[in-house]
A and B are shown apart, each in its own frame.
Chain A
Amino acid sequence: MTYVFQQLLNALQVGSIYALIALGYTMVYGILTMINFAHGDLFMVGAFFCFFAAIFLNLPFVPVLVISMVGVALLGVVIERCAYKPLRQAPRVSAIITALGVGLFLENFTLALNPYPKQVPQLLANTTWIFHGVSISSIALFIVILSLLLMLMLDLIVRRTMVGMAMRAISWDKAVVPLLGVPVDLIISLTFAIGTSLGGAAGVMYGLAYPVIDPYMGIMVGWKAFISAVVGGIGNIRGAMIGGYILGALEILVVAVMPSTYRDFVAFVLLLILLIFRPYGILGKPHPQKV
């Protein structure tokens, strides 16, 4: 029983990180119907911002988190303005290719700047409590709570504020909403900023939990988060959160009962099976094609 609780805690930790990144994918998809394949690499950039802020500026945790989130958000907006905005009217494939290109650029640029894996310093004191045989590290607990807080904030923004209302309106109908005086470009940029800053926060948390970071770490984590978004129903914010935790739990389950090399295999097979039986994800709604 203690073993189950222990694994549950691990699953929550991994799932929180997936869920935070998946939110970025799903928000951009919801508003632009475009898969931002560079998002996983923005997560990686977030981890590197965290590293630089901690090493060169010697900052404590909270400023490091703020710097990473703001830095990644700015980068996300710049990418959106320079690379994606001119392609809004182009065929969707162009935007997907551009996103892949931007992702590769970020990976290789980071690699060119610092060729070796880096070690993120310990920003928070890590104490471990033993509770009925289950060891709870303060960092794991912290990651879970912080990500839940961030998700709660996001949910409030999307559901309760004017900006959130504009976001939902744009994803509902792109043609009419500008006529009603909604500044579409600004809202899209804001969506990118919020989505990517969550990715940046996930990067910092990843750095806390698994301190060795390298420029290619965004690929696999990014794809996994993307799967989470698809599993939850891409374009659906609560779906992305649920999807992240489902995938996290599943991965931990696989590692617990099978050799760990099967982890990725199972994750992707799950995706395929789900897509065959429920192509629009758990919370997604089918949108039939009209002539």
Chain B
Amino acid sequence: MHTRWLMPGILLCVFVLSLIIHRFELLDSYLQLIVMYIGINIILTLSLNLINGYMGEFSVGHAGFMAVGAYIASFLTVKVIPAHLAAWLFPVAVIAGGMGAALVGLVVALPSFKTRGDYLAIVTLAFVMIVKSVIENIDALGGPRGFLGMEKLATLPWVFFWVILSLWIIRNLVYSNFGRGVLSIREDEVAGDLMSVNTRQVKVLAFTVSSFFAGIAGALFAHLLQFINPRSFDIIKSTDILIMVYLGGIGSIAGSILGATVYTVLLEILRPLGIWRMVLIPLILVLLMLFRPKGIMGLREFPWFVPLRDRLAGRLPRNKRGSS
């Protein structure tokens, strides 16, 4: 009985703590900013891990979905929602951003999963470029100059809330029947098909969910930075998220959290190096791929994140087979 309420209890305590920190400015704003970046990166890493880790496909489109979410949410809070209501309706704007990204994700997913292999990589890559190009040509969104005027609505409690929500949803998704379908696509798509998994439907749905959370992260990102421009969502941003996924470990919730945290903190620590920081990080990525291609937690999990019934059945995700 008491273990059942342990997790919600801890989460509630941390949530109250984050409220207090935010209310009384216990942490200096730089640290708060870093913590919030970590949170947003966790959402991004987790949702990309659903496609690239659990499903074994290769998408580079996350920056594009982030952009969609960020621009929709910002447009809502700045131009549509009256200013005095903006703080209250912020969650609506974030969800609208997520929904918009999910819709776009659906449109991208429907034709992309016709064949396997590098096809998705090419389509999502083109998608990132198209989104950037479209935004640059829409004057109402500021075009290449960018979009500003958002209030700083993404606060520590909100970021925490969204991180927990996405963790909860994706974890439950991965360990559901649907999640087993996703895993079957990675391990052996043909066999999955033969076991009556509707692989095409599973792929499209997983991609839509993933883009939804990318949109949420984008909306939070926009309201944290208070300024977005098309160049913040180019292919380099996607590469960043990819690095976090493969650093932390594919197919692992703990790995996603770890990867996002380590990478974000590392970037801040290395800041004194200036431009050489950006030389070092790709080098780390290459070395990682050469010597530990599945990442720190690759295909493993803290027992913590595994539902009780799977733990009792001895179904910890510790596969011997590689991905894709």
Which residues in A have some Cβ–Cβ distance to B below 8 Å? 35, 83, 86-87, 90-94, 96-98, 100-105, 108-109, 111-112, 115, 219, 223, 227, 230, 259, 261-262, 264-265, 268-269, 271-272, 275-276, 279, 289, 291
Q: Does B35 contact A (CB under 8 A)?
A: no
- Are the C-beta atoms of A98 and B279 separated by less than 8 Å? no
- Are the C-beta atoms of B242 and A97 separated by less than 8 Å? yes
Give the distance to chain B from A97, nearest Cβ to Cβ, in Å: 5
- Are the C-beta atoms of A271 and B126 separated by less than 8 Å? yes
Q: Which residues of B contact A259 (CB under 8 A)?
A: 137
The segment from B2-10, B89-97, B282-290 found at the interface with A is B282-290
- Are the C-beta atoms of B58 and A104 separated by less than 8 Å? no
Contact of A262 among B56, B111, B137, B243 (CB under 8 A): B137
The segment from B39-47, B65-73, B115-123, B206-214 found at the interface with A is B115-123
Q: If A35-B121, A272-B123, A275-B122 touch, does A101 touch B275 (CB 8 Å cutoff)?
A: no
- Are the C-beta atoms of B190 and A97 separated by less than 8 Å? no
Q: Which residues of A contact B283 (CB under 8 A)?
A: 101, 105
Q: Does B52 contact A (CB under 8 A)?
A: yes
The 6 closest A-B pairs by CB, nearest first: A104-B282, A265-B133, A101-B285, A105-B282, A108-B278, A101-B286
Interface SS of chain A: helix, strand, loop or mixed? Answer: helix
Please name the residue on chain A nearest to B60 by beta carbon: A100
Q: Does B276 contact A (CB under 8 A)?
A: yes
What is the bound-complex CA distance between A97 and B284, given in angstroms? 12
Give the distance to chain A from B92, nearest Cβ to Cβ, in Å: 31
Known: A112-B278, A261-B133, A262-B137. 11 other contacts (CB 8 A): A93-B323, A98-B286, A100-B285, A104-B285, A111-B278, A223-B129, A269-B130, A271-B126, A275-B111, A275-B123, A276-B111
What is the bound-complex CA distance between A126 and B81, given in angstroms? 58
Q: Does B32 contact A (CB under 8 A)?
A: no
Q: Which residues of A contact B136 (CB under 8 A)?
A: 261
What is the bound-complex CA distance between A230 and B283, given in angstroms? 28
Contact of A86 among B58, B119, B281, B290 (CB under 8 A): B290
- Are the C-beta atoms of A100 and B239 separated by less than 8 Å? yes
Give the distance to chain A from B251, nearest Cβ to Cβ, in Å: 12
- Are the C-beta atoms of B286 and A265 separated by less than 8 Å? no
Q: Which residues of A contact B111 (CB under 8 A)?
A: 272, 275-276
- Are the C-beta atoms of A223 and B125 separated by less than 8 Å? yes
Please name the residue on chain A nearest to B246 by beta carbon: A97
Q: Which residues of B contact A93 (CB under 8 A)?
A: 52, 56, 58, 323-324
Give the contacts of B267-297 with A (CB-CB under 8 A). 275-276, 278-279, 281-283, 285-286, 289-290, 293
- Are the C-beta atoms of A279 and B282 separated by less than 8 Å? no
What is the bound-complex CA distance between A227 and B128, given in angstroms? 14
- Are the C-beta atoms of B293 and A94 separated by less than 8 Å? yes
Give the contacts of B205-239 with A (CB-CB under 8 A). 235-236, 239
Give the contacts of B180-219 with A (CB-CB under 8 A). 190
- Are the C-beta atoms of A291 and B125 separated by less than 8 Å? no
Q: Which residues of B contact A102 (CB under 8 A)?
A: 282, 286
Residue of B127, B281, B290 contacting most chain A CB atoms (<10 Å) = B290
What is the bound-complex CA distance between A8 and B62, given in angstroms? 37
Contact of A265 among B123, B130, B246, B322 (CB under 8 A): B130
What is the bound-complex CA distance between A227 and B190, given in angstroms? 29
- Are the C-beta atoms of A271 and B279 separated by less than 8 Å? no
Please name the residue on chain B nearest to A102 by beta carbon: B286
- Are the C-beta atoms of B293 and A279 separated by less than 8 Å? no
Give the contacts of B100-117 with A (CB-CB under 8 A). 111, 114-117
Q: Which residues of A contact B127 (CB under 8 A)?
A: 268, 272
Give the contacts of B139-178 with A (CB-CB under 8 A). none
Give the distance to chain A from B15, nearest Cβ to Cβ, in Å: 35
What is the bound-complex CA distance between A111 and B278, given in angstroms? 10
- Are the C-beta atoms of A98 and B242 separated by less than 8 Å? no
Q: If A108-B278, A111-B275, A261-B136 touch, does A97 touch B129 (CB 8 Å cutoff)?
A: no
Q: Does B262 contact A (CB under 8 A)?
A: no
- Are the C-beta atoms of B134 and A265 separated by less than 8 Å? yes
Q: Which residues of B contact A272 (CB under 8 A)?
A: 111, 123, 126-127, 130
Please, could you name 5 A-B residue pairs with CB atoms under 8 Å apart, sorted by A?
Answer: A87-B289, A94-B293, A98-B290, A265-B137, A272-B130
What is the bound-complex CA distance between A93 and B52, given in angstroms? 9
- Are the C-beta atoms of B279 and A112 separated by less than 8 Å? yes
Contact of B290 among A83, A111, A115, A223 (CB under 8 A): A83
